[in-house]
Structure 1
């Protein structure tokens, strides 16, 4: 079956023919965690993030991404993709194609409530607010669907449109893993509720979490021959191999590749939604006293043509471990390097399977980097994420100075798979296919983001951040963020003023005040979340270790 848009696309003054269409393509979407656009070398920022959540221009902390650079050249990279400012609302936007006025996930701490079947006020699951999502679209079009990595979704994970999954670990309430003690839990110490490292029994100055990197918590969904949800390792061989040196991102990719092979053998196209943890901070169980937010990864090296990975070796117990030189030092750049290695593995796998010329690859992230952009409504720190798209037959290559919202992937996946979105199903995205596969010069006029009651919006010339400040974005600064604030509107062009008026007219449609925080028919909660208070993430940033080159 050819792409749904394989003939012509109407564009105001005429029609544009698509480039040679793909056969019904496989789709791999790698959705990284807490990575700002500035962290990828292709974006050319003069500043990036050091190991202690500090701004730096030190080359030793610059990520090296030869494979992503190649993907960006053979495909394209977008200069201004926008998400929401933090994980949950961004993932909701990506999965549903909708802004929070419809799905009600405004912020990590302000998720709309509904009254469940027992009459209890609970977080409104996305499959209730938005019963048609990325996974559902692909399933409707006859695709096999797989979800791997982080979930962060409320309710029943089997209802999000994925046939199978490999989660690390899924939800925090999944506490019964018998295979690893790399987890944190609350205990009462001297009468106070304290986060404790189960591995050592000692208090840990961090937030509640499981181990999703080393010695990980891995939960499978609908794996052949298993219950709906089952812990991995799940057989004698995997139980023998599992241990301290097992790395969660490797496990995810192993299961993804197994699924790809099975579906290819069944002659069925696949949609992979790989929501990796890489980029997200994490407690370092191998070094419990570490001040860095990003635990080291397995050692990898690039020789100009291929990657080599050193097999990890970790020994020890109770918080005292020896990694024998097989684990890198910590840092955001190490996580991005490992993502590049995994993208190389994807490309090698596709070539070996003979389907590289009929597979679309999308690489992006959910919000800005921890310590810099995550949670931030300042300018576009929290919402500016990387985006690289590769699809055989694309007409666009290299740098593309256009605006893209995460919501745009909902209609894009529909067009790629041939799924239909009902005319009466409201969604906020604009399909990227006309831009990617024709000579259409632009994509959309504005992008939108949010953090609770704060709204952010940007066009080609002006941007309004969450604090209500306006910025001139007609030129991009070296650090991608030091825009000029507009305080005198008489001093800017008529184009700037006209765009501001257009953007101001958009905002009321999507805000909390206009639409209410909760599901329709659900009264506002009396204990309404105050999103202006400092979050745990912001408090943690304040306590972060300073570095000599921090700014």
Structure 2
């Protein structure tokens, strides 16, 4: 297994390359979108994408338009082959810990290893105490977590947060909104009810909160709140403007910007971990009978220079609503478009605060699109996600498309390098910092990337890939749909280099393929962990 080891000299040199002459620590914003395959972003050049009901289409009306992300990708850089896990829980575990499932034990959403005491799931901050929040804090950053959580958050040392809970409110009657699906028992059977209509639902879904329209929103450690966690709206002003027209991603961004403004004015470096729900399908409370998977967003328009947003207007109740044409059609393309609008808002905020040249912006996603790649071990359908890095204040040696391999586990060591933090050699990290690749003449970032799906493993190099069904592919050239690589059935018909890389990958897999032999946490955990070190 790979142990992350860096000398103080290397980190110091790289850090001096990254920071501009004023020797000021860069702010970092990491926007981790939900269930968005690389193919959904036009910059990746796919000839197919997802229609509103899921699946695959070439219909141009469902192709997203992302002028801002395109610009950031071209002026910064984007990685052509970035991988996560195949589904959200394990991918978020990879992002939050920088480690694979053999360590944190989140093999799949419904397949998680037991804690050392044999009871319940092992919390990520217990299995992996040098989490993304711990590393950022050690680097001197003020920290903010916005959006989806989907895990126990108590042990992560984020300073503040604004959450639209992703795990569902279940039967908790949160007073701010009845947009939730909940379980009820009738005649000995469990049914899922729409709390808004007070009727059972008749299409497949799961218990969930409403995180888009009239959302469930929770604040953590907000400076004006008296308690650690409060449900928003929590004062007369916010209650007066909250309603059916309130869009959860807008609320997240509002509180994120409030945090950024406060820290920028205090000249305090910040790290924002924005785990947006945008991209994730959901029950459409405004259109409960729709066949589409992704509720619409507020309408936006791009004139070539700026976005204009139509103020949403929604009236009605009990599942019958009128949006007066202010909300887009259903579909993931609408979500990707709205993410582009929010990235534009981020760029404007940085510029207004005078921090645009000292803020690093990273855009990525947790796994493939629902109805296409999510939870799929086939080819790289479930693992292939976008990764864009925009850092105008860095001396980037890489610009535009990078035919490189990267992994979501790489973000923690990258943040450690930016913050001048040394992760101890004794602590296993499976990611590799992107800083050497981005800021020097280093030709390659990684030799291979890895993913997991329950008991299966997925791995690829530059030439070959093995998916979760143990099918091998020749990945030396990208197909137009980004997944239909030629299958290798006769190894004598590929090059010696292909066979050599296969042999290397076959030696790597056993290091991490421990589902059958080490599914749960070891008794007593991993023992004492050496501390993070802040470099001078």
* TM-score, normalisation: structure 1: 0.90
Contact 1:362 1:390 in 2 (8 A): yes
Distance in 2, Cα, partners of 1:364 & 1:135:
18
Q: Counterparts in 2 of 1:292-311, with a 5 A limit? A: 292-311=292-311
Partner of 2:328: 328
Aligned mates of 2:9, 2:50 — CA distance in 1? 41
Residue number in structure 2 paired with 1:342:
342
Give the drift of 1:201: 1.0
Q: Which residue of 2 aligns with 1:406?
A: 408
Tell me, what secondary structure is at the counterpart of 2:182?
strand
CA distance in 1, matches of 2:13, 2:260: 32
Q: Secondary structure at the match of 1:89?
A: helix
2:248 is the counterpart of 1:248: yes
* 1:4–1:324 Cα change, 3 Å: farther
- Alpha-carbon distance in 1 for matches of 2:331, 2:474: 32
1:409-428 alignment, distance < 5 Å: 409-428=411-430
Q: Distance in 1 between matches of 2:159 and 2:463?
A: 43
- 1:200 matched residue in structure 2: 197
Structure 1 residues 449-488: aligned runs within 5 Å: 449-488=451-490
1:84-233 to structure 2, matched below 5 A, reads: 84-116=85-117, 121-153=119-151, 155=152, 157-169=153-165, 171-173=167-169, 175-204=172-201, 205=203, 206-226=205-225, 227-233=227-233
Q: Does the 8 A contact of 1:114 with 1:522 survive in 2? A: no
Once the two structures are superposed, the pairs formed by residues 77-88 of structure 1 within 5 Å of their partners are 77-88=78-89
SS across alignment from 1:404: strand
- What 5-or-longer segments of structure 2 have no aligned partner? 1-7, 526-536
Secondary structure, in 3 states, of the residue corresponding to 2:304?
Answer: coil
- Aligned-pair distance for 1:169? 2.3
Residues 214 and 244 of structure 1 are in contact (CA less than 8 Å); yes or no, is this contact kept in structure 2?
A: yes
2:514 to 486, 503, 512: 512
- Alignment check: 8 A CA contact 2:31 2:273 kept: yes
Alpha-carbon spacing, 1:313–1:424, altered in 2? closer, same or farther (3 Å) = same
Q: Distance in 1 between matches of 2:138 and 2:11?
A: 19
CA offset at residue 313 of structure 1? Answer: 0.1
Q: Confirm or deny: 8 A CA contact 2:463 2:501 kept in the other structure.
A: yes
**Aligned-partner Cα distance in 1 for 2:39–2:208:** 27
| Aligned partner of residue 231 in structure 1, secondary structure | strand
Question: Residue deviations 1:386-411, cap 9 Å, x none?
Answer: 01001122121100000001111110
Q: Which residue of 2 aligns with 1:27?
A: 28
Tell me, in whole angstroms, the C-alpha distance in 2 between the residues paired with 1:270 and 1:178: 32
Contact 1:315 1:321 in 2 (8 A): yes
Structure 1 unaligned regions, length at least 5? 10-15, 524-551
SS at match of 2:422: coil
Q: 2:457–2:509: 8 Å Cα contact kept in structure 1?
A: yes
Aligned residues: 510
Q: Distance in 2 between matches of 1:256 and 1:447?
A: 32
Would the aligned equivalents of 1:48 and 1:57 in 2 still touch at CA under 8 Å?
yes
8 A contact 1:185–1:195 mirrored in 2? yes
Structure-2 separation of matches of 1:496 and 1:101: 27
**Match for residue 495 of structure 2 among 474, 493, 496:** 493
* Cα separation, 1, equivalents of 2:514 and 2:382: 19
| 2:169/2:208 contact within 8 Å kept | no
Measured in 2, the distance between the counterparts of 1:17 and 1:276 equals: 32
Specify whether residues 19 and 111 from structure 1 end up closer, same or farther in structure 2 by C-alpha distance, changes over 3 A only. closer
Secondary structure, aligned partner of 1:350 = helix
Shift of 1:231: 0.2
State the distance in 1 between where 2:412 and 2:49 align: 30
